[in-house]
Amino acid sequence: MNYEDLKEKQFEADIEQWLLETGGYEKGSQKTYDKERAIDMTVLMRFLATTQHKEWDRYVRKYGAKAESRLYQVFHENVVRYGLIWVLRNGIDDLGIKLKVCYFRPASELNENLMLKYRQNILQVTRQFAYSTQNSNTIDMVLSLNGIPVVALELKNQLTGQNVENSRRQWMNDRDPAELLFHFNTRILAYFGVDLYEAIMATELKKEKTYFMPYN
């Protein structure tokens, strides 16, 4: 590994460490991440069992060994129909069993139960995120919410001769919007390019038509 690579990795490591220490994140692992379905169902089910154990117990009793596959089916069907943002806000309802896939911060901290559930969201940061069954490409960093990848970052460092424009070209030219992970409002909701001085963001990958907004 050359000097430039070491500097690039250190930049990633510094951001990861900041998220782990101050952002409430845990270090992600891709051991249970399903590239074809673009989700980590093991993490999502851990979240459900922790925050909604009565509902999740009913779900497991109802579907038995098929609970995981049924959960993914209902989740994905709702995402395709309504979009991921809607599902994050409203959860899913499978024949009367209602499950939240995340908890937003409540307007008031007086409700201790809602605050507890909010804090039990599983936030993960994963470096060098391998996402495809078609190639060996990796994304510098992906942030996931309860097993669902929602933010992706390509990180560049001027000390290695690259900047945010290299991130822009990478998102536009090297990432295939046909990948499930990149379908609009289906998994990743925000694509960032970041260097030491600037940040840009897009909400949809459309090759050369991808539109980036300044995010400084």
pLDDT along the chain (216 residues), means of 10: 59 91 94 97 98 97 97 98 98 97 91 92 97 94 98 93 95 96 98 95 97 92
Interatomic CA distance for residues 142 and 22, integer angstroms: 17
Pairing of strands 190-194, 148-155: parallel
- Residue 6 confidence (pLDDT): 52
Degrees, nearest 5: CA angle 207-38-118: 110
- Residue 2 confidence (pLDDT): 46
Interatomic CA distance for residues 49 and 93, integer angstroms: 16
- Residue 8 confidence (pLDDT): 66
CA–centroid distance for 118 within its chain: 17
| φ/ψ of residue 147, rounded to 5 | 90, -5
Reference 204, options 111, 121, 83, 92; nearest CA is 83
- Residue 109 confidence (pLDDT): 84
* SS3 (DSSP) at 64: helix
- Residue 7 confidence (pLDDT): 61
Pairing of strands 199-202, 97-99: unpaired
CA dihedral angle for residue 13, residue 23, residue 182, residue 127, rounded to 10 degrees = 20
Using CA of residue 85, residue 176, residue 134, residue 136, what is the dihedral sign? negative
| Environment class of 141 (CB within 10 Å of its CB; exposed 0-12, middle 13-18, buried 19+) | buried
- Residue 182 confidence (pLDDT): 98
- Residue 159 confidence (pLDDT): 84
